Amino acid sequence: MDICGEKMISYNLCGGRAIRKAVGITMLVFFLLVGNASSMPNSSSIGTAQVEGLPIPYENGLLDKFHISGRLDANGTHFEIKNSSYLNVTLDSSEPIYLTLESAPEMVTMRIESASSATSAKIILGRFLPHTTYHKYEDDYHNHTAFTTDANGSYTYTQDLSNKHLIFIQPRPSTKFINDSATGGDCTLIGTWNAAAKTCTLTTDLTETIQIDSNRITLDGSGHTMTGSGTGNGIYLLGKSVVTIKNLNVKQFSNGIYLYSSSNNNLTGNNASNNFDGIYLSSSSNNNLTGNNASSNGYSGISLSSSSNNMLSGNNASNNSLGIYLFSSINNTLSINNADSNNYYGIYLSSSSNNTLSGNNANSNNFDGIVVYSSSNNKIYNNIFNNTNNFYFYDSNINAWNTSKTLGTNIISSHYLGGNFWSNPNSNGFSQNCSDVNKDGICDSIYTLDANNIDFLPLAATRKLTGTISGKVRSR
């Protein structure tokens, strides 16, 4: 039994191999995501912080949590980020608040709400650049305040706490607005507006953010490119529904396409590359993401945070640090997506339950194919995992790794649906070598990932498999 290969249950047992592989990962990506272990946030200094975490081995061979660089979730009055690749900002509040604070390249984001009966608070921001002008947007890009920090890099203002607020702070302003009006808002400045169809079709490349201000709008990029300066959001939706974004290239923003509290929207045929996050859904539900390419982003290809009932189908999330990332998200469906060649993880489930993953490829040089952290009741079947380390669990309960044996073409083109195909580049994965006496394409034995996670119907190779091309299994 290869504990350090397919059964990667504890880095404690195979620290040597894990450390050698970690050292081999590009150092730029390592420092962007992990930073120095000694600079990890100290939860005792930020109240009752609950920081998103990923497992990662350290040189002492012990399992610890990998803290997302530049992010914390906490409640209290004093907050501090210590491991950002951008600004290690502080925030002090005169009243207790719940806060999600992120400091990504050239953008600080705050999700803030009262943790008491207070309806307002004095906020002191610290550790920004001194004597520097920043642009603060509250809830949307119309609500704009420019401020200049003092000699210590601080800024003080009064924050409304009667409602939740989402706040962006970035060093440069520039936004176009599209709405349901005679001209489509700014649409006629950047494209053509079809008022009957409520469709804005771009006729030029852009360097600005586009915020969509009305429901039932279609933004057709028509193959044009939005290029940011490493800050802000490429496309931003707040509380919008039945919006379609298609045929658009978005690159070099903090978030290529960002949906916040938005539902029943469609993202199709877009290319979000070379951003920090390619496509990011927060508190958003019932959206369809189909046929998008979210590759070569500094952090994630596609991220869902506190989002439910979304459909991700036919997307490519390759060559990122993380391919597809779900955090505190439930009842989502991921089908026929590629999560290949990501520096760390192909698919990552964190505090996420009742999701269905089927027909996906997590192949080719992901550090781990799939990571399941503090997540349960997910149904994960008919996927291909083809990595040196195909899976990793931490603090997780029972998940289902197969459906019932059903007649139908599975992901490796044999005749029954069941579990997953477990392979590795050395051709000695479980599915590549299991017994299949009756040649039904289902292994005769179960595949135990850990005590709570068992694939009872792992797929069996019916012919020699040599690798993958464009997410398809290649045979000879």
Position 54 scores a pLDDT of 41
How far apart CA 207 and CA 193 sit, in angstroms, is 19
Checking if the pLDDT of 12 tops 80, the result is no
pLDDT tens profile 244-289: 999 999 999 999 999 999 999 999 999 999 999 999 999 999 999 9
CATH class of 34-170: mainly beta
Higher pLDDT, 260 or 32: 260
- Averaged over 382-390, what is the pLDDT? 95
C-alpha 253 chain-centroid distance: 15
Please name the helix (run of DSSP H) or strand (run of DSSP E) that holds residue 417, with its range, or none.
strand 416-417
Confidence band for 454, pLDDT divided at 50, 70 and 90: very high
Checking if the pLDDT of 25 tops 90, the result is no
pLDDT tens profile 171-217: 988 899 999 999 999 999 999 999 999 999 999 999 999 999 999 99
Q: What is the mean pLDDT of the chain?
A: 84
How far apart CA 298 and CA 234 sit, in angstroms, is 15
Where in the chain is CATH 2.60.220? 34-170
How far apart CA 171 and CA 214 sit, in angstroms, is 27
Confidence band for 235, pLDDT divided at 50, 70 and 90: very high
Position 363 scores a pLDDT of 86
How far apart CA 227 and CA 112 sit, in angstroms, is 29
Provide the whole-model pTM. Answer: 0.79
CB 112 within 8 A of CB 99: yes
pLDDT tens profile 86-119: 899 999 999 999 999 999 878 999 999 999 999 9
Q: For residue 219, report the phi and psi dihedrals to the nearest 5 degrees.
A: -110, 110
Confidence band for 68, pLDDT divided at 50, 70 and 90: low
Confidence band for 366, pLDDT divided at 50, 70 and 90: confident
Q: Across the strands, what pairs with 99?
A: 74, 112
Higher pLDDT, 475 or 122: 122
Checking if the pLDDT of 8 tops 70, the result is no
As to burial, measured by CB atoms within 10 angstroms (0-12 exposed, 13-18 middle, 19+ buried), residue 239 is middle
Report the b/e string of 115-149 with b at 16+ CB within 10 A. Answer: beeeeebebebbbbeeeeebbbbbbbbeeeeeeeb
